[in-house]
Amino acid sequence: MAVRLDDMEDVNRRLAYWEGPLLAIETSCDETSAAVLDGRSILSNVVSSQVDLHAQWGGIVPEAAARAHIETIGPVVDEAVRAARLEPGRITAVAATSRPGLVGALSVGLTYAKGLAHALRSPFLGVHHLEGHVLSSLACEPAPPFPHVCLVVSGGHTELIQVDAPFRYRLLGQTLDDAAGEAFDKGARLLGLGYPGGKAIEQVAEGGDAKRYPLPRGLSGETADFSFSGLKTALLRLVEREGSRLRIADAAASLQEAIVSVLSERAVQACVRQGLRHLTVVGGVDANRALRARLSVLGEREGVRVFVPDPSLCTDNAAMIGLAASLRLAAGERHGWDLDAQPQAELPGPPKPWDATIGTSV
């Protein structure tokens, strides 16, 4: 079935965004990021990545991440304000990722944001990182209509979520073990391709034969869940068995094919099962061209239109946190100074009213 592109209303016209410059901060993992938004316009989105720092250890070291955030957060916020051509005093609200993530890393951005909000006497809000990823698709032109299905694929997440509207989420399925990005990263390590692995696998896979080494797809049957741990074990066995005979490009292509096929098939199937014709794909793994290409072919075949935000909004960034914060602040939600960083947290429900007597939303 062909996908009609001409009948979509601009959903953003119906949504209420926070008016006035909003500063958002993201430090949940290994990117220090700050963004300034006005309504849904992204005035600046500065990202400083710690990838080179962690590459020496082959993965993220939480203590090192927190220290690097401390060093970088001030200059990154200054740069975001400068790039937005604003005087800092004109900022009318401050938000930061508060959950889930590495607690030490989260605390740096959260504490900095609280300090700024306190100095500016402006409202403050803690944002759920995953909600930021989910709502990053609102920056697409045109934005995806609601309800739609969202595939979140990053180093820490692999989830299929039905998004009925902002703040109204239903988890359709998720990984039972490793995240898709983790599967790329661990696979790359086994193949000696370094960290982070997704991009390296994609590059090496380009000249490879994806059919040479058949690898398992995890769970079978009609499910919206994923499992990537069997894939990692099968790849390890393959590396041990083939030794120096292993064709790295073919192994990388086979690994990429196993991950990409299961992600794209399950995401499009989930839309069909839910009777929905719009799919958004967000998170760092979304940078993978094989995944984008497969989703577009399958989507076209099943009558599902696929929305992919700009790559700068797919990997961790503060602009997506700002979009989520803007909608929640406009709906009246605020947090007090006692808000703590949380390593794990469910996706939040609708905004709660601000209770000035206790100084937080209840």
Can you give the binding site for Zn ion, defined by CB under 5 A? 154, 316
Give the one residue of 38, 159, 178, 185 binding ligand KG4; rule: CB under 6 A.
185
Query: Phi/psi at 146 (nearest 5 deg)?
Result: -105, 150
Give the one residue of 137, 154, 175, 326 binding ligand KG4; rule: CB under 6 A.
154
Give the shortest CB-182-to-ligand KG4 separation in angstroms: 6
Give the one residue of 173, 197, 309, 351 binding ligand KG4; rule: CB under 6 A.
197
Give the shortest CB-90-to-ligand KG4 separation in angstroms: 30
**Please, where are the H alpha helices in 89-178?**
103-120, 129-135
Whichever of 127 and 238 has its CB closer to Zn ion, that residue is: 127
Calpha distance 197→292 (Å, rounded): 18
* Interaction pattern, residues 100-139, with ligand KG4; x per rule: CB under 6 A: ----------------------------------------
Told to check if 284 binds ligand KG4 by CB under 6 A, we report yes
Residues 47-106 interacting with ligand KG4 (rule: CB under 6 A): none
Whichever of 316 and 333 has its CB closer to Zn ion, that residue is: 316
Told to check if 283 binds ligand KG4 by CB under 6 A, we report yes
Calpha distance 283→153 (Å, rounded): 5
Told to check if 352 binds ligand KG4 by CB under 6 A, we report no
Give the shortest CB-25-to-ligand KG4 separation in angstroms: 15
Size of the site for ligand KG4 (CB under 6 A): 19
Partner from ligand KG4, Zn ion, none binding residue 159, C-beta < 5-8 Å depending on class: none
Contacts of 327 (CB under 8 A, 6+ apart): 15, 16, 17, 18, 135, 166, 167
Give the one residue of 17, 18, 167, 184 binding ligand KG4; rule: CB under 6 A.
184
Residue closest to 309 by CA, chosen among 334, 284, 330: 284
Calpha distance 248→189 (Å, rounded): 12
Calpha distance 161→165 (Å, rounded): 11
Give the one residue of 149, 285, 321, 327 binding ligand KG4; rule: CB under 6 A.
285
Residues 23-42 interacting with ligand KG4 (rule: CB under 6 A): 29
Calpha distance 196→247 (Å, rounded): 20
Give the shortest CB-100-to-ligand KG4 separation in angstroms: 10
Calpha distance 354→362 (Å, rounded): 7
Residue closest to 308 by CA, chosen among 283, 282, 278: 282
Calpha distance 127→114 (Å, rounded): 13
Calpha distance 291→306 (Å, rounded): 12
Q: What angle do CA 140, 113, 337 make, to 5 degrees?
A: 120
Of the candidate spans 68-76, 84-92, 154-162, 217-225, the one that interacts with ligand KG4 by CB under 6 A turns out to be: 154-162
Binding-site ranges for ligand KG4 (CB under 6 A): 29, 154-156, 181, 184-185, 196-199, 202, 283-285, 287-288, 315-316
